[in-house]
Structure 1
Amino acid sequence: MKSLTMICALIVGIFAGGVRAEQGADEQLIALLQGFEQLQGGFVQTQYGPDEEAAVATSRGTFRLLKPRYFSWRIEDPDRQLVLADGEFIWHHDLDLETVTRRPLSSQDAVSPLQVLGGDTDILRSDFDISVTGKGRFRLQPTAGNPGFRELTLIFSDSTVSGMEIVDNLGQRLFIELVDVQTTPVLRPADFNFTPPAGADLFFHDQ
């Protein structure tokens, strides 16, 4: 479940747009976040332990995003998992274990990376210290709330995000490389509908 938390934290992370050199780091990032409405692509995510000496795990998959409340993060290798937001609930489907977990999308009372990456400008301005640490690199450090991470870095290439790093509260780092990013796919809310498969064990945390 720890890995799932980190995965959820990093769902929805691809951006495009222009910024002005005279803007502060927070306004530059906000401008980038406002440069898209929907997107899709693939990812390769690698998890490292606190010592950073070697990768603990690597997984691959695809993602889709439709602002403001829809996303899909599908891990295809080495195991098969789906994390999906349908506008009302967040679903986690472990295809190998045949389990489905559901939580209300609005039930999260902590500041989440999903809100940050989704472009919640009020939260970005009030709850994070944002700095530029290199060309195309934005580091976000929480100053309020109770996020599940210590530090989040967004990495841009040619005004489009190409990677993300998150350091959790135990010092473990997750790096995600985003590939084949499309910023103008044709997505609809219906594309994020989810029905639990027959025979799966269901765990609904909203009842």
Structure 2
Amino acid sequence: MNMSHYFKGAVFGALFSISTALHAAAVDRLSELLTRHQSFGAEFEQYTLSEEGGRQEHSSGEFVLARPDRFDWLTHTPFEQRIVSDGEYIWIYDPDLEQVTRKPASGQTESAPALILNGKIDALSERFDIRQIEQGNDREVFELLPLTAQRSFERIRLLFKDEVLSELLLEDSLGQRTSILLNAIELDADPDPERFEFTPPEGVDLILDPGV
């Protein structure tokens, strides 16, 4: 037996086992953090970032979500927009355009940010290699890297402070980076179910998107 090949194989096997164990631990920890609350609300500040890390385009607003698939996302600036999911449909209301778009919720809540906010760890672990890259001093950071070439994001980082999600950093396939900062966070606030119902205002144009 070639001992050098045996040694290399043993080292590779040990490293693979360690990597697998670290991945499993990261998935379990992220699942624990994302699924411990049934509702989650916050104010948000969203920025695109330059190559040097400077803040550029900016939007702000607030949102509330109730798991599994209900949410009310309201953007205040630079333009008002409301996006509501009742679990069956997603409604997108643009007051300035006097327009409402309705599309089926199925398949529309499967984007990576939606999966993260809804705590769908199984779907996330099928699409991303999940690693915990920082832990300590009431701060934890996770990195999600796509497992296949068919991807919308090249990298996602999640920052938790005191075990609560406080920032998402998204890098898309074109290299654009977006930072979403969460503030005034409310956990398990038991939001009114009527908040996730939407009726188009009178006089607006209603567009029915089949979502195909």
Same fold (TM over 0.5): yes
Structure 1 residue 123: Cα displacement: 1.3
**TM-score of the superposed pair, with normalisation by structure 2:** 0.78
**TM-score of the superposed pair, with normalisation by structure 1:** 0.80
Match of 2:131 in 1: 131
Structure 1 residue 52: Cα displacement: 4.2
Moved more, 193-202 or 142-151: 142-151
Contact kept? 2:112, 2:124, Cα under 8 Å: no
In 1, Cα distance between equivalents of 2:52 and 2:117:
25
Cα deviation code 1:128-161 (max 9, x no counterpart): 1011222311111121495532222111001111
Match of 2:70 in 1: 70
Q: Residues 157 and 107 of structure 1: is their aligned pair in 2 closer, same or farther, counting only changes over 3 Å?
A: closer
Which runs of 5 or more residues in structure 2 are unaligned?
A: 1-21
Which runs of 5 or more residues in structure 1 are unaligned?
A: 1-20
Query: 3-state SS of the aligned residue for 2:29?
Result: helix
**Does 2:179 align with 1:175?**
yes
Q: Which has the higher contact order (CA 8 A, sep 6+)?
A: 1
Number of equivalent positions: 186
Match of 2:16 in 1: none
Superposition RMSD in Å? 2.4
In 2, Cα distance between equivalents of 1:71 and 1:40:
9
1:165-204 correspondence to structure 2 within 5 Å: 165-204=169-208
In 2, Cα distance between equivalents of 1:71 and 1:37:
12
Cα deviation code 1:20-78 (max 9, x no counterpart): x9x711111011112100121211111125x3464331111111010111011111122
More helix as a share of residues: 2
Cα deviation code 1:101-152 (max 9, x no counterpart): 1110114496543124312232133221011222311111121495532222
Q: Residues 85 and 68 of structure 1: is their aligned pair in 2 closer, same or farther, counting only changes over 3 Å?
A: same
Query: 3-state SS of the aligned residue for 1:114?
Result: helix
Q: Residues 112 and 104 of structure 1: is their aligned pair in 2 closer, same or farther, counting only changes over 3 Å?
A: farther
In the alignment, which of 154, 158, 176 is matched to residue 158 of structure 2? 154
Structure 1 residue 193: Cα displacement: 0.6
**Amino acid paired to 2:123:** I
